[in-house]
Structure 1
Amino acid sequence: MSESDRKVPVDKLRWVCDPSVFTFNSTSDISGLEGSIGQQRALTSIDFGLGMSSHGFNLYLAGEPGTGRSTTIESMLRKRTMDSPPPPDWCYVNNFETPDSPLAISLPAGKGAEFADDMQELLDYVRSNIPAVLESKEYESDRVSIIEQYQERNGEIFSQLEQDATEQGFALQRTVSGLVIVPQKEGRNYTQEEYEGLDKDERERMDGVGRELTEKLNDALRQVRENEKGLRDDLARLDRELGISAIGHHLDPLKEKYAGFQKVLHYLESVQEDLLLNLEDFKPQTPPPQIPGLKLPRQEPTFERYEVNVVVENDPDSGAPIIFESNPTYNNLFGRIENVMQMGGVATTNFTLIKAGALHRANGGYLIVDAREVLLNPFAWESLKRCIRNSEIRIEDVLEQYRFMTVVSLKPEPIPLHAKIIMIGSLWIYHLLFYLDPDYRKFFKVRADFDSRIHRTPEVLQDYALFVAAHCRKEGLLPFSPSGVAALLEYAARQVEDQERLTTQFMELSDTIREASFWASRGGGQVVDRKWVRKTIDEKIYRSNRIEERIQEYLADGTILCDIDGAVVGQINGLSVLTMADYSFGRPSRVTARVSLGRAGMVNIEREVKLSGPIHDKGMLILTGFLRGRFGNDKPLSFSASICFEQSYEGIEGDSASSTELYALLSALSGLPIRQGIAVTGSVNQHGQVQPIGGVNQKIEGFFALCKAKGLTGSQGVMVPSINERNLMLNDEVVEAVEAGRFHIWSVSTIDQGIEILTGVPAGEPGADGRYPEGSVNFLVDRRLREMMESMHRFAVEEKEAAKLEAPKGDPA
């Protein structure tokens, strides 16, 4: 096949989208996109994961940023939850038995706030009516009657005791230490001298009577204490009856209203009991004593314990919640217990300060988080796994285990978890979690893989047009014409370097749509056509290609040596790609090879100075395998060769230059010069087959820019692997130059095809005797290797003979 037959036809240099495939005048005439574009594999996985209700079937959406992961899952969930029942509301209430452990109560959607209002109404009623009842004449009359009854009983007890004491010459008197029985004489107490002046028998009689009376006094005091207890009980019973009559007719309707909720009924019973036990709190409070110059606040009893803290409130008219948590910190995910600073810096809290997290709001629905953010936030990942494992949401003070001193805090009752967790992240994070975290595969069993490219089909083209229409309508941008959409699709194909596929990096496409609308508006356009899309792409390049232009200047003025004309032995132009953040460009580089006698074999200068990576080193070793397989079957290979990227001062990686290096080596061995107007790219295997590489468009355009700067001669071009033909999406300038015959693109599948184009000499196929045709490239290489082998053998013999002649007599040598 001749050199011209290896040229890539102009129609294969890029895919051109025909605007006639679109039937609209502008995207304003069509509806927006519903759903996603392509990604059938991911959609199937998501549908399966959302349908599985078994434990652990949570989802991980893997893919590159901008591939529509968030938009797709949101769209699917909106459709799925449209007709689904809303989850219940959740409230925290006071636990009257254990105040440190607030109770969690579940109510149907919308009933949580209603229950809170009912309890607030009850509290308002109690606070306004209980004091009025306690101050009523009827209550005061009953209270006075009970007190008077007990006072009368106590009076009778002491009256009888006083009568007994008087009859026996004693009196009941009150002292500082209490009531005592003292003997009397003539209406007065005995003096100490009078008592001691009594005879023994009289004193003993008097002492015995005193003891009996003292026992009666003790009995009387016991009866009085029992009466006081009975008084308190009767007063409490009066208050209880009063409280029941006052709040019962208001609390009973609540019990009927929430009859189907046992936990609520139990709570209402606790509220009633606590109200009845603390009726004193509703009485008017006396002001505290004031200190001159210091006004103390009046201490009012708090009734927060009767309030309802609605932590999750769902709309009864909407479906299951869909929660995107953009900042998945521990508190934002699992809730928190807030504190209030009091006077003196003391922090206090109660169940009304419990705040819900994203998991609470997503309970009964779906929680979507970014995998990287979850892993970066302390405690978030481990706590999330614990919630999934135990199927409950527990609000805890995560720092408690790290404190030296235990701080009194609340332990709210955990809430059952029934939510589907969806993490969005890169495939790299997925693999890290899968292999490094043994629990991960238990809890996230479904992976939805979003591809960064999709096959180009007529249906996909129409979907992209709908995507453009939806984006323009949503952001108020200028509509696109069919030619504008076609140019955008060509740009989408260029992004993935494939004539049969389109990029799914919708973030990049969205930015391009916005920028094209901007330039069209500035230019006075009413629609965005191909001209404005092309200007957008050119402007993007211009904003980022300063380094590329500087390198092109060095190449053009000869600072960086790179010939584009003539022919040189052992010298060739290779192509590499430099990436500067979001911009990549091709850079031509001179590759040289020198060959000499020796046994060192291939010497990679980059490797010797540690400027090459392992993949590049592998490519160099493949060259040795190729030479041995082709030329070492009938002779040992004895040579030394050095290969170098000239004027390269940074690291080199990749094997895309291995075919280039092999061409330079074959030229150096054969003595045939290589055309300097041709740049080469492509990797090679040990059989001499040229393999595909990446960045083919940037490499071609980089060499074309150099040739254009130095002057196009019509014989210049780039040689690429045949497999890379489908990856060609060259810019308009290169395509026009190829069409005009001022530049050329060749494609080859073997080293032999490439060396023929570079040298103009046939590569040569081995005959039946294994020899190559005389004058062919392979013949010249084989002959040179044989000559070098023979020269090495001859030098070895001569050195051995010389050593014998120089050896002194008697020397065993």
Structure 2
Amino acid sequence: MDIKDFVVPLAELRHTCDPAEFPFATTEELKPREEVIGQARAVSAIEFGLSIRNHGYNIFVSGIPGTGRNTIVKSIVKRISLDRPVPEDWCYINNFKDLDRPLAVKLAPGSGRELQRDMEKFIELMLSEIPKVFESKEYEEQKTGIQEELERAKEVLFEDTGRRTKEMGFQLTVTRTGIVKVPLFKGKPLQAEDLEKLSAEQRLEMDDREKKVDTEIRDFLSKARQLDKEARERIHELNRKVAHFAMGHQLDDLKEKYGANPRIPDYLAEVEEDILGNLKEFLGQTPELPFHIEGMDRASFLERYRVNVLVDNSKTKGGPVVEEANPTYNNLVGRIERKMRLGVAFTNFTMIKSGSVLQANGGYLIMNALDVLRSPFAWDALKRIIKKNEVKIEDIGELYGIATAGIKPEPIPISLKIIMLGSPWLYYLLYYYDEEFRSIFKVKSDFDTQMDGSREEKARYANFIGAMAAEEKLLPFSREAVAEVIDYAARLAEKKGKLSLRFSDLSDLVREASFWAGREGKRTVETGHVDKALDEKVYRANLLEERIQELLTDGTIMVDTTGAVTGQVNGLSVYDLGDFSFGKPSRITSRVYIGKAGVVDIEREAKLSGRIYNKGVLILSHYLGGTYAQDKALSLSASLAFEQSYSDIEGDSASAAELMALLSAVAGVPVRQDLAITGSFNQKGEVQPIGGVNEKVEGFFAVCKAKGLTGSQGVVIPKSNVKNLMLKKEVVRAVKDGKFQIYAITTVDEAVTILTGMQAGERQADGSFSEGTFNVLVDKRLKDIAKKLKADEKTDKDKDEKKEKKDENNDVPKKEPEKP
């Protein structure tokens, strides 16, 4: 194999969009049209979920932020909502039979606010009309007539009673303190001296008559009270009749207007009855307090006749579309507000406020799933609403058995579609751990992150850029600039023939390119402005990368870019800072010595490695055994380390580099330091693809450039990653000029050839490797180590046996001499 066979062709390093594909000079020539780009599957799912009316077919929109989920969902929902009928208004009215349980009323769209205004006008009118009729001459004459009749009847009754008491010897006189009885003697009031002249028998007889008089007086008072009661009832009935007359025409009009509603006629009848029972409030006859107390004045009393409009669809077109940005329990369900009265909280039906579920009733509610789950009680409340198809506005404490004094509004039935947006991991988390979730969110809409980069899709991209420029009043883009934006979309997609659907990042690039073009006083955005926007975006975020590059350049972080060293390889890793990612080369070293410890990974021993990294090291160990220990036991002690690495390491993309360092140390063959390698491999020695290939190549290129390009430097990548290459123009130019190379491999043996310059060597029929190859050296060294270990073991065994014999001889008892 020749090293040139592994060079990646220049055309494969960066896949560019040809501006000639676009039939326009600038995006100004395009006619903006509303269309969804690259999300046919997601759109189909959304439209299905919005169209099916069965219970539980709510929609979970799954996808990473930045793919246009919000915009697309709102666009589709608003379009479909226009074909839906406008839903009814909902109001709460006073329940005069039970003030703690307000009644919910459904009215035609716009009628809720109309009923509210009609009731306010009615009450205002009654506050002026009722006093007028009570001040009328007719009313005064009728009331005076009743009162005069009462006085005459009481006079007749008193005269009749007085006549009878006079016959009993007592005269009745009415004073300010009541009725006074005066005994008579010979037809005249009895004097004190006359009382002394009476005999005892006369006194007893007078006492008996006085008792009879008391009975007459009590009978008179009882009859007088009955007359007063009858007069009051007549006046009360007169008042009702007069007040009814004042309300009659107005109430009849309201009953006729809202008569089709099953609840309003009964409600109006109760309003009339309540007004008749509280005429003093309308006549201003209630005493005024010396100072204002909330809830105890006439205005607070009159609130009982108000209509609380919870949902007003008077201006709604089609089904309502509500986007809840803060889906707390109260914002979703609604709340019951309270006011303070003398230090005590009080409430009534006018303080009930609707939540977004009621506002979206009959339409669509859009919200973020993670926001719902973060809000206490919100998720359980939402599930309960969906399952019961009703909203019950109540205090949170009521849900958990904490009794609170307050009102209990009547539940309101609901019918709406709920669209929740969230990440894929959140969808699966809810699906597996919340059994109710799968029965109430039966439709999943999966947003993709990339699409095919066909000519048609590129044309849609161009239309998107043109529409955005027109909508946000940005500068028009030349077709070359459009092609440059599409190239950036291809880099984000990280796959040949694909374009990214991360429209938030692409939109930012369009805005920023327009900004830089405007700053230069240009009328059109050109390629250079797009490049400028990308460079400036990197500059704002790559402070850490620059500091690391400085450390690599001045030798603080030791990485060689020339020469060859045994047991030392340049590996590549990616630093992901969230808004910016960059590659960094790392020195990986290996030491091999006689022993049976096997491959010891220092990162793992220091607990600085993750599970995937550890898996790669284990595969490495077993690859060694499977390749070189078919005719002998694999006996060695070896160490692997990421030098100058003091933070956690995860991933297996450095396993190929680690294997090269280890094999180099075993064979004693130096590895080229002007090359870096990235890739994982399996137990069969096949090199597997890795992530971040562009950042890794560019990271090593930056170090080589800073230290001086020699023309021999380059990066070895898995061949399966060639389709992911979308390198910066600077790197492509260096390759074109012969200053840098990219090699692609499929097996470990190919990596050996490139990094050492030796052929790896294939195993022969007799089990040995081809002479003069790299694998022969590895195999020989492993055999030497095995022989040395075996020899050492035999020596140790011989020593142990000699020691055991010596110990046995020392244990034999000596024969004592015989005594004479």
Per-residue deviation, 1:604 = 0.4
Describe the superposition over 1:753-785 as per-residue Cα deviations: whole angstroms up to 9, x where unpaired: 111111121112222222211122222212221
Contact 1:91 1:312 in 2 (8 A): yes
Equivalent position to 2:509, from 509, 512, 533: 512
Describe the superposition over 1:463-508 as per-residue Cα deviations: whole angstroms up to 9, x where unpaired: 2112111211111111111111111111111113112222221111
**Could you tell me how far apart the structure 2 residues matched to 1:51 and 1:761 are?**
66
Describe the superposition over 1:16-59 as per-residue Cα deviations: whole angstroms up to 9, x where unpaired: 11112211221121123413211222112212221222222222
Equivalent residue, structure 2, for 1:435: 432
Per-residue deviation, 1:534 = 1.1
**Aligned 1:602-613 pairs, distance under 5 A:** 602-613=599-610
Per-residue deviation, 1:209 = 4.3
**Could you tell me how far apart the structure 2 residues matched to 1:682 and 1:283 are?**
92
SS at match of 1:577: strand
Per-residue deviation, 1:168 = 2.1
Q: Does 1:320 align with 2:322?
A: no
Partner amino acid, structure 2, of 1:390: K
Contact 2:397 2:404 in 1 (8 A): no
Equivalent residue, structure 2, for 1:188: 189
**Could you tell me how far apart the structure 2 residues matched to 1:196 and 1:785 are?**
156
**Could you tell me how far apart the structure 1 residues matched to 2:292 and 2:621 are?**
97
**Aligned 1:128-277 pairs, distance under 5 A:** 128-173=128-173, 179=179, 183-186=183-186, 187-189=188-190, 194=195, 198-200=199-201, 206-277=206-277
Cα distance, 1:44–1:401 mapped onto 2, change above 3 Å:
closer
Equivalent residue, structure 1, for 2:816: none
Contact 1:119 1:306 in 2 (8 A): yes
Equivalent residue, structure 2, for 1:336: 335
Contact 2:169 2:209 in 1 (8 A): no
**Could you tell me how far apart the structure 2 residues matched to 1:107 and 1:810 are?**
109
**Aligned 1:440-479 pairs, distance under 5 A:** 440-479=437-476
**Aligned 1:288-367 pairs, distance under 5 A:** 300=298, 302-315=301-314, 318-341=317-340, 344-345=342-343, 347-367=345-365
SS at match of 2:396: coil
Describe the superposition over 1:145-169 as per-residue Cα deviations: whole angstroms up to 9, x where unpaired: 1122222222222221211111122
Equivalent residue, structure 1, for 2:369: 371
Equivalent residue, structure 2, for 1:50: 50
Equivalent position to 1:533, from 519, 530, 533: 530
SS at match of 1:565: coil
Partner amino acid, structure 1, of 2:380: E
**Could you tell me how far apart the structure 1 residues matched to 2:42 and 2:162 are?**
99
Describe the superposition over 1:223-280 as per-residue Cα deviations: whole angstroms up to 9, x where unpaired: 3222222212211211122122222112112111112102111111111112222223
Equivalent residue, structure 2, for 1:596: 593
Q: TM-score normalized by structure 2?
A: 0.93
Partner amino acid, structure 1, of 2:643: E
Name whichever of 122-131 and 72-81 sits farther off. Answer: 122-131
**Aligned 1:491-510 pairs, distance under 5 A:** 491-510=488-507
Name whichever of 549-558 and 676-685 sits farther off. Answer: 549-558
**Could you tell me how far apart the structure 1 residues matched to 2:607 and 2:6 are?**
37
Equivalent position to 2:554, from 557, 579, 594: 557
**Aligned 1:737-752 pairs, distance under 5 A:** 737-752=734-749
Partner amino acid, structure 1, of 2:11: D
Equivalent residue, structure 2, for 1:665: 662
**Aligned 1:701-720 pairs, distance under 5 A:** 701-720=698-717
Per-residue deviation, 1:300 = 4.7
**Could you tell me how far apart the structure 1 residues matched to 2:372 and 2:626 are?**
54
Contact 2:698 2:727 in 1 (8 A): yes
Name whichever of 523-532 and 638-647 sits farther off. Answer: 523-532
Q: Does 1:804 align with 2:801?
A: yes
Q: Does 1:688 align with 2:685?
A: yes
**Could you tell me how far apart the structure 2 residues matched to 1:557 and 1:213 are?**
129
Contact 1:288 1:296 in 2 (8 A): no
**Could you tell me how far apart the structure 2 residues matched to 1:512 and 1:559 are?**
36
Per-residue deviation, 1:173 = 4.9
**Could you tell me how far apart the structure 2 residues matched to 1:524 and 1:558 are?**
44
Describe the superposition over 1:360-390 as per-residue Cα deviations: whole angstroms up to 9, x where unpaired: 2111111111222222223322222222232
**Could you tell me how far apart the structure 2 residues matched to 1:456 and 1:299 are?**
72
SS at match of 1:811: helix
Partner amino acid, structure 2, of 1:309: N
Contact 1:35 1:72 in 2 (8 A): no
Contact 1:195 1:203 in 2 (8 A): no
Unaligned runs of 5+ in 2: 811-820
Cα distance, 1:95–1:671 mapped onto 2, change above 3 Å:
same
Per-residue deviation, 1:182 = 6.1
Per-residue deviation, 1:9 = 0.6
Per-residue deviation, 1:552 = 1.9
Q: TM-score normalized by structure 1?
A: 0.94
Cα distance, 1:295–1:626 mapped onto 2, change above 3 Å:
closer
Cα distance, 1:525–1:454 mapped onto 2, change above 3 Å:
same
Name whichever of 469-478 and 91-100 sits farther off. Answer: 91-100
Partner amino acid, structure 1, of 2:371: E
**Aligned 1:394-409 pairs, distance under 5 A:** 394-398=392-396, 408-409=405-406
Partner amino acid, structure 2, of 1:339: R
Equivalent residue, structure 2, for 1:93: 93
**Could you tell me how far apart the structure 2 residues matched to 1:296 and 1:374 are?**
40
Partner amino acid, structure 1, of 2:709: L
Per-residue deviation, 1:221 = 2.8
Describe the superposition over 1:48-105 as per-residue Cα deviations: whole angstroms up to 9, x where unpaired: 2212222222222121111111101111011101132111112222222222322222
**Could you tell me how far apart the structure 1 residues matched to 2:239 and 2:282 are?**
12
Partner amino acid, structure 2, of 1:46: I
Name whichever of 680-689 and 418-427 sits farther off. Answer: 418-427
Partner amino acid, structure 1, of 2:166: T
Name whichever of 708-717 and 150-159 sits farther off. Answer: 150-159
Contact 1:35 1:75 in 2 (8 A): no
Cα distance, 1:362–1:212 mapped onto 2, change above 3 Å:
same
**Could you tell me how far apart the structure 2 residues matched to 1:93 and 1:682 are?**
71
Name whichever of 620-629 and 206-215 sits farther off. Answer: 206-215
Task: Report the number of matched residues.
Answer: 807
SS at match of 2:609: coil
User: What is the identity percentage for the equivalent residue pairs of Structure 1 and Structure 2?
Assistant: 47
Partner amino acid, structure 2, of 1:380: A
Unaligned runs of 5+ in 1: none
Per-residue deviation, 1:177 = 8.1
Per-residue deviation, 1:457 = 2.4
SS at match of 1:91: strand
SS at match of 1:562: coil
Per-residue deviation, 1:7 = 1.0
